[in-house]
């Protein structure tokens, strides 16, 4: 059995965060993409940044001038990471390490667990799941999160 991942996943940490396990995020992203039947060869860009940068992205792309925990951008022209023309690109995910740290502390679980939840949440958005339109959609998305992460009963909802 090969350990080769059939996806082009980039994880960029642009802040001082030595406690971020980039390899674990990479493996989790590949697992979720495979589990959601994302076409092999598809790329995904993951950015681990701070509250200032995620606030800037949130204001620029969603017109919400405040930091958030995770942003997901499907592959579209003019987004913050341009895909290689002609190659499939699922999209871009930005995660604020500052907000993730605060949420992990509030919930009382490790930063790694919070980052995993935010990453899975972001990928599921890129795969078409949502949680704001109806309780049924929220339940379906939560079920997929729990499929990858286990019981999330104690975690915050998005």
pLDDT tens digits along 77-126: 655 556 666 788 999 999 999 999 999 999 999 999 999 999 999 999 99
Q: What is the pTM of this model?
A: 0.90
pLDDT-based confidence at residue 45 (cuts at 50, 70, 90)? very high
User: Residue 115: which H helix or E strand, with range?
Assistant: helix 111-126
Query: Who contacts 150 (Cβ-Cβ below 8 Å, separation ≥6)?
Result: none
What angle do the packed helices 97-107 and 111-126 form, to 10 degrees? 120
State the residue for tokens 């990453």.
119
In CATH, the number for domain 8-149 is 3.40.390.30
Report angle CA 33, 156, 48 to the nearest 5 degrees.
50
Please indicate if the annotation marks 121 as binding a ligand. yes
Please indicate if the annotation marks 131 as binding a ligand. yes
């Amino acid at each position: 059995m090969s350990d080769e991942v059939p996806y082009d996943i980039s994880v960029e940490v642009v802040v001082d965060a030595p406690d971020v396990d980039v390899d674990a995020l990479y493996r989790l992203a590949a697992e979720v993409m495979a589990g959601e039947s994302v076409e092999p060869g598809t790329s995904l860009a993951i950015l681990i940044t701070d509250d200032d940068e995620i606030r800037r992205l949130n204001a620029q792309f969603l017109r919400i001038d405040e930091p958030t925990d995770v942003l997901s951008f499907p592959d579209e022209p003019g987004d913050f990471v341009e895909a290689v023309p002609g190659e499939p690109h699922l999209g871009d995910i930005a995660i604020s390490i500052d907000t993730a740290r605060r949420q992990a502390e509030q919930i009382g679980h490790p930063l790694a667990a919070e980052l995993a939840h935010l990453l899975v949440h972001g990928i599921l958005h890129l795969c078409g799941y949502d949680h704001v339109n109806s309780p049924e959609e929220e339940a379906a998305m939560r079920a997929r999160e729990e499929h990858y992460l286990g019981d999330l009963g104690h975690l915050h909802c998005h």
